[in-house]
Structure 1
Amino acid sequence: MTAPAITQAMIDAYDEYTHLTLDRRGFMEKLTRLAGSGAAAAAIAPLLAANPAAAEIVPADDARLKGEDITWPGSGPGSTGDMMGYLVRPADTSGKLATVIVIHENRGLNAHIRDVARRVALEGFVALAPDYLSPLGGTPADEDKAREMIGQLDPAQTVANGVATVNFLKADKLGTGKVGAMGFCWGGGAVNDLAAASPDLAAGVAYYGRQADAAKVPGIQAALLLHYAGQDERINAGIEAYKAALEAAGKDFTIYVYDGAQHAFNNDSSAARYDKEAADLAWGRTIAFFKDKLG
């Protein structure tokens, strides 16, 4: 069976739905017009979305790893004041390791991000994937509900919860005290904000994330690695101003733009937007960066 043709306009409509003002009904109506029929739109929509069934690359029970769900003190307030998340580390390591925070997209802590945390752990790090929806009770199974909840988070508390997570890992007995963070989409923006707020963050990697407020750039102490998709006008509009602010403040940063790649190009559970070549290149650069800055 021939795969349906997916155009840039369809991808842009999905981005408008998942990040801006278009609701599910409006998205499907727009996709139907673009695809030419309701049947074609119904076939294309799952290819644009993330597929939970494709989220697990490294099995949760992989014998090379030890993973567990944990809690730690957050910034409060909230249902308990605690943060929840998924901690995973190599199983055969007796010494201490550098730690990496893995920050989710605007769908919350889902199976894909847990899998990314396992991939990071296999590279020789302790990885912690926080659930930033912890103040609201945690990530729900419904992705639309998760996106709605992300919009309800208090921005200042969200940043404070990130700082609390850095502090927790800096003092954790499994770690060396060197803490990095990586994030995707919403999580990429969270990495930039965290770098501006936490002097103890040593390294940050933001994948196609919103840039930090230029006024807060002087507070960044972490080295930054910033990955952007070539076909991502919404996020890329802020690159030049961020670059200028980082340069003016004398910060350690590197920017890569992956020509032709779409927003969310690293997410291999999204058939239409995943770009293996860009994802592999960015991943290799990310791991080398963490080994250099956290080593």
Structure 2
Amino acid sequence: MPETLMLTVPDGTTFDAHVARPAGEARGGLVVIHEIWGLTDHIRAVADRFAGEGYVVIAPDILSHAGVAPAMGQELFALMNSTDEAARTAAQPRMREALAGGRAPEYAGWAVGALTAAIDWLDEQPGVDGRVGTVGFCFGGTYAFLLAAADDRVRAAVPFYGTAPDESRMPSIQGAVLALYGGKDAALMDALPTVRRDMTAAGVDFTAVVYDRAEHAFFNDAGLRYDADAAADAWDRTNAFLALHL
């Protein structure tokens, strides 16, 4: 059964996390990192799906620290994914204001510390045995990259449409990386050739998969950009990749 956990960051602050456990023996542990909307019902469901695949899963709420609690994130997501264009436009200023805390210079360091604390917790769980991976989406995809660079316990990282870390951080990535992109995600597509080059130069085991007809956020089945075919293939690839490396 899913459970809620509170963990402490080294600076003494705390954060909540959704935890899901497999029915049988664990085949490793996963940190699932949410989108810019925070720890929504969608991300909790994704965590539960991974538990169904045999992993001990922790999905931290790292956005409440920046001022966006799950209920607010759920509300913002609904507004920004409304079929009413006027409603989406009207919600944009509120969204920018709400997410300002997550762009503060000190926030990234706090967030990586929180995610590292999540790995500390996973390391103590029966059946994990050092087999730790991370999967993140959008904002969380960026942090999946950053966590892999910050913590050499990460054996496998799967960033969905995340921004790769600066070239200087890439040599710190010790685990394998499977990066998944929508071909219509212009900014990330423009950056991908350089990311591939720099990952190769850094010696990272890096694989990029591009779904040509998909957009950013193609995996979120509650959003306007959901692509069922791309999402199904990405799910299968992710599970095969995790099974190989964990």
Output the TM-score relative to the length of structure 1.
0.71
Q: In structure 2, what is the Cα distance between the partners aligned to 1:256 and 1:136?
A: 31
Structure 2 residue 6 is matched with structure 1 residue 71: yes
CA deviations over 1:178-202 (Å, ceiling 9, x no partner): 1100000000000111111111111
Structure-1 separation of matches of 2:98 and 2:30: 24
| Higher-Rg member (1/2) | 1
Deviation at 1:114, TM superposition (A): 0.3
Q: Kindly indicate whether residue 110 of structure 2 is the aligned counterpart of residue 157 of structure 1.
A: yes
What is the rounded CA distance, in whole Å, between the counterparts of 2:174 and 2:107 in structure 1? 24
Moved more, 210-219 or 229-238: 229-238
SS in 1 for 2:212: strand
Change (3 A) 1:284 1:161: same
- SS at structure 2 position matched to 1:90: coil
Q: Is the 8 A contact 2:20 2:56 kept in 1?
A: yes
Match of 1:288 in 2: 240
Q: Secondary structure at the match of 1:176?
A: coil
Question: Within 5 Å, which residues of 2 pair with 1:16-95?
Answer: 66-77=1-12, 81-91=13-23, 93=24, 95=25
Quickly say closer, same or farther: Cα 1:212–1:274, change in 2 above 3 A: same
Deviation at 1:82, TM superposition (A): 1.9
**In the TM superposition, what are the counterparts of 1:255-274 in structure 2 within 5 Å?**
255-270=208-223, 272-274=224-226
How far the C-alpha of 1:140 sits from its partner, in A, is 4.1
In the TM superposition, residue 169 of structure 1 has moved relative to its aligned partner by 1.1
1:231 shift after superposition: 0.2
Distance 1:102 1:291 in 2: 16
Does the alignment pair 1:228 with 2:181?
yes
1:119 aligns with 2:49: yes
Query: Could you tell me whether the CA contact under 8 Å between 2:33 and 2:136 is conserved in 1?
Result: yes
Query: Share of identical aligned residues, percent?
Result: 38
Look up the SS of the partner of 2:28 in the other structure. Answer: strand
CA contact (8 A) 2:181 2:211 kept: yes
- Give me the whole-angstrom Cα distance separating, in 1, the residues matched to 2:113 and 2:216: 27
- For residue 166 of structure 1, what is the amino acid of its counterpart? I
C-alpha displacement of 1:89:
1.1
Select which of 10, 22, 27 maps to 1:97: 27
- 1:181 aligned onto 2:134: yes
Partner of 1:106: 36
Residues 96-129 of structure 1, C-alpha deviations (whole Å, 9 max, x = no match): 4301111000011111100110111111111111
Contact residue 106 and residue 146 of structure 1 kept, 8 A: no
Cα distance in 1 for partners of 2:21, 2:62 equals 20
**Helix, strand or coil at the partner of 2:146:** helix
Tell me if the contact between 1:181 and 1:205 (Cα under 8 Å) persists in the aligned partners: yes
Distance in 2 (alpha carbons) for counterparts of 1:268 and 1:216: 32
The aligned residue for residue 254 of structure 1 is 207
SS for the counterpart of 1:221 is coil
| Residues 137 and 176 of structure 1, relative CA distance in 2, 3 Å threshold | farther
Q: Which runs of 5 or more residues in structure 1 are unaligned?
A: 1-65
Aligned length: 223
- Tell me if structure 2 keeps the 8 A contact 1:96–1:176: no
Q: Report the TM-score, using the length of structure 2 for normalisation.
A: 0.85
Answer whether contact 1:140 1:146 (CA < 8 A) is retained. Answer: no
5+ long unaligned stretches in structure 2: 77-94
- Name the CA distance, whole Å, in 2 between partners of 1:140 and 1:223: 30
CA RMSD of aligned residues (A): 1.8
